Amino acid sequence: MEPNKEKKKRNFTVMVVTETEEGHIRQFHLGAGVIKGIAAVLAAVILFCAGYGVSKSMSLSNVSETNAALTAKVENLIQETKDLELENEELSNKVTLLSETVNDKVQKESEDAEKYIPTGFPLSGTAAILEEDQTAQGAEQAEEAGEPKEPIVNFAAAGGSAVVATGNGTVVSIQEDTVYGRMLTLDHGNGYISIYRVAAEPKVKEGDELTKGTMLFEISQEGAVLGYQIQKDNSLIDPLELIEISG
């Protein structure tokens, strides 16, 4: 049998030689323990640097991902803002259009409503307003016939002219008039009623729906007197306060 050989520990020594400016040579001997310590320190520094680099790399990666996510959110917000601005513009256009439509409708309804107010002149062409004692049969004859003195305007209608509706409305009655000859009542459907009293044959009949300017009576060549009255909410008013006289 071979004799047991004991393992021998090998020790290493590092000698460091330096030379000073004066030319002296210095020698340093580093034992195995010092070398191991230095190696351990170097290993630790290397590991630390490697770990720091990995950590820094991961941190930068996270920052990059975060920035990308934030950029995407900003782009989405910008797009949403543009969509909202477009939607607001469309809504604004719709509101403007609706407002214009409502205004047009209100204006049309107002204009239509005005057509039913008896503001027109009751005769085609011109006519003279008569004094009270120049009426068809005079005030005394009216009193004898039992006619009360009520607001009425008497017009001298020239031959060949026509009595016309002073506003849109419906003929509610045509009857004999003891003073003027005929009496036509036109209901305008808004509290206004216009009354036309004249010695002529009517050109319309009860129940007819008329527009402003429609002929009610045709005056003969001899001419005639038209007695014109207006009621507002069942009370007679002065027609001259409502008639729009031009010229």
Are 159 and 198 within one domain? yes
Q: Is 120 among the domain residues? A: no
Note down the domain range covering 28: 11-115
C-beta of residue 135 within 8 angstroms of C-beta of residue 227: yes
Are 182 and 210 within one domain? yes
> What pLDDT is attached to residue 149?
66
Question: Mean pLDDT over residues 69-90, rounded?
Answer: 90
Q: Is 72 among the domain residues? A: yes
The CA distance from 186 to 229, in Å, is 11
Confidence of residue 61 (pLDDT cuts 50, 70, 90): confident
* Exposed e or buried b per residue across 32-65, where buried means at least 16 C-beta atoms within 10 angstroms of its C-beta: eeeeeeeeeeeeeeeeeeeeeeeeeeeeeeeeee
Does pLDDT of 131 surpass 70? yes
Confidence of residue 136 (pLDDT cuts 50, 70, 90): very low
3-state secondary structure of 242: coil
The CA distance from 68 to 62, in Å, is 10
Continuous segment of H or E residues that includes residue 45: helix 32-115
3-state secondary structure of 146: coil
Question: Mean pLDDT over residues 76-83, rounded?
Answer: 91
Does pLDDT of 87 surpass 80? yes
The pair of structure tokens assigned to 117 is 């107010």
Question: Mean pLDDT over residues 23-45, rounded?
Answer: 71
Are 159 and 215 within one domain? yes
Q: Is 246 among the domain residues? A: no
Q: Which of 115, 138, 154 is the last residue of a domain?
A: 115
The two counts, helices (H) then strands (E), for the chain are 2, 12
Closest CA to 219 of 163, 135, 143: 163
> What pLDDT is attached to residue 170?
98
The total of structural domains in the chain comes to 2
Angle 21-23-26 from CA coordinates, rounded to 5°: 95
Q: How far is CA 121 from CA 129, 172, 178, 210, in A?
A: 12, 20, 24, 15
The CA distance from 219 to 194, in Å, is 18
